[in-house]
Amino acid sequence: MANSFKPAYRRQKAVMSTSVKIIIILLVVLVLTLSAFLIKIIVSNALDPGIVYPSDTEEFTALPRDTEPDETEENAVKLTVRALDTSKFDAKAGSLLLVNKSNGYKLPSTVSLVNLYDEKHENFTLATISEQLTREAYEALCRMTDAYAERSGYCPLMVVSAYRDEEAQKKFYDDYVVNESDKAYVELPGYSDHHTGLGFDVKLYDKDGASYSYGRYASERAAWLVENYKYYGFIMRYPANKGSTTGIDGESNHFRYVGLPHSVYITDNNMCLEEYLSYIRSFTYESPLDITVEHDEYSVWYCKDTVYVPRDGDFTVSSDNLGGFIVTYRK
């Protein structure tokens, strides 16, 4: 019995020895693998501590530093307005009045005039002691001639004919019109731009007492004036190439105050007053005409039955003498 038992025991012992060896080998492999992995992590952290690497499949977009959100219409400050009845405004007052052969005008009693002789100004001369302008036009004329004198040492501007009432215009018309062709250069009484108190004719007056036609000598003796009158609110009322629209052939010596920014826009865009007032009708307070004059920004719009004005800020309202009103808002 003993002899038959021993061989079976030896075979079981041999099988167990083989299993142990396999387990030991697997454990060794596992330990080596874990050791290698730990060593890799330790070395990586030692070389680049604090760096987090994205996975190979992750997608990302780099954002620029200090990125500011773009201003959109939603972020922009919208202009708030209030609606006013046209009865609150004088239909015969303002710097943008249109007076021509088709649109008559009489200065209302609510508009006062400045006698230029009574309020003498050192930087322009007068043809007569009776010249008059509205306060607004007079002050703009003073600023312009002061700037001229400051840059050139002397301003040769002479105001020849400013405000005329109907009686004065009739006398001027009767004296001036000799031939039919003369009517192309002068308006009938009641239809003259001179009735507004915003327009005036000029000559150039030298220190020696000699006077010259502005049209003939302007480019030589008054170059600064030619280039800069628009910045003081003035336009050339009757450009030479606009006679079919204005009704008056070229008259370069007739200045007209319309105010900023209108004077700059009209001049820069080769318009006459008639064209500008027609053009401005297409702009509303919701979609205004934006005009920049040097560092100042303006919005301009037209109103007919209701006048929409800003609730806050600097603005003016002018009649166009055609049944409408122009609002000028300085931003």
Question: What pLDDT, on a 0 to 100 scale, did the predictor assign at position 20?
Answer: 63
List, as one string, the DSSP characters of 181-245. GGGGG-PPTTS-GGGGTSEEEEEEE-TTS-EEEHHHHHHHH-HHHHHHGGGGTEEEEE-GGGHHH
- Tell me the sheet residues that pair with 251: 238
- What pairs with residue 205 in β-bridges? 211
10 Å Cβ neighbour count for 264?
21
Report whether 177 contacts 146 (CB < 8 A).
no
Q: Is the pLDDT of residue 69 over 50?
A: no
CB 106 within 8 A of CB 91: no
Question: Distance between CA 77 and CA 80 in Å, rounded?
Answer: 9
Range with the poorest average pLDDT among 17-21, 82-86, 193-197, 288-292: 17-21
What residues are paired with 185 via a beta bridge?
A: none
Q: What is the mean pLDDT of residues 306-316?
A: 95
Secondary structure (3-state) at 297: strand
Cα–Cα nearest to 301, from 314, 311, 287: 287
Q: For residue 111, with 0-12 CB atoms within 10 Å meaning exposed, 13-18 middle and 19 or more buried, which class applies?
A: middle
Q: What span, in angstroms and rounded, lies between the C-alpha atoms of 246 and 184?
A: 10
From first CA to last CA, the distance across the chain in angstroms is 120
The confidence score (pLDDT) of residue 209 equals 84
Distance of CA 149 to the CA centre of its chain: 29
Nearest to residue 96, comparing CAs of 304, 270, 327? 327
Mind listing the pLDDT tens digit for each residue in 135-167?
A: 999 999 999 999 999 998 899 999 999 999 999
Task: Tell me which residue of 115, 95, 215, 94 sits closest to 163, measured CA to CA.
Answer: 115
Angle at 184 between CA 183 and CA 187, to 5 degrees: 65
Tell which wins on pLDDT, 265 or 222.
Answer: 265
Which one-letter amino acid corresponds to residue 184?
A
Question: What is the pTM assigned to this prediction?
Answer: 0.76
How far out from the chain centre does Cα 18 lie? 96
* Count of CB atoms situated within 10 Å of the CB of 218: 17
Would you say residue 67 has pLDDT above 60? Answer: no
Pairwise CA distance, residues 269 & 260, whole Å: 14
Distance of CA 195 to the CA centre of its chain: 31
Task: List pLDDT tens digits, range 215-261.
Answer: 766 767 788 999 999 999 999 999 999 999 999 988 899 999 999 99
Closest CA to 126 of 89, 81, 158, 94: 158
Q: Which residue has the higher pLDDT, 289 or 25?
A: 289
Measuring CA to CA, which residue among 219, 294, 229, 323 is closest to residue 267? Answer: 229
Which pLDDT does position 11 carry in this prediction? 45
Kindly tell me if the per-residue pLDDT of 12 is higher than 50.
no
Q: Is 144 helix (H, G, I), strand (E, B) or coil?
A: helix
Are the C-beta atoms of residues 327 and 315 closer than 8 Å to each other?
yes
Q: What is the pLDDT of residues 78-125, one digit of tens each?
A: 789 999 999 999 999 999 999 999 999 999 999 999 999 999 899 999
> pLDDT tens digits, residue range 177-222?
988 888 888 999 999 999 999 999 999 998 888 888 887 667 677 8
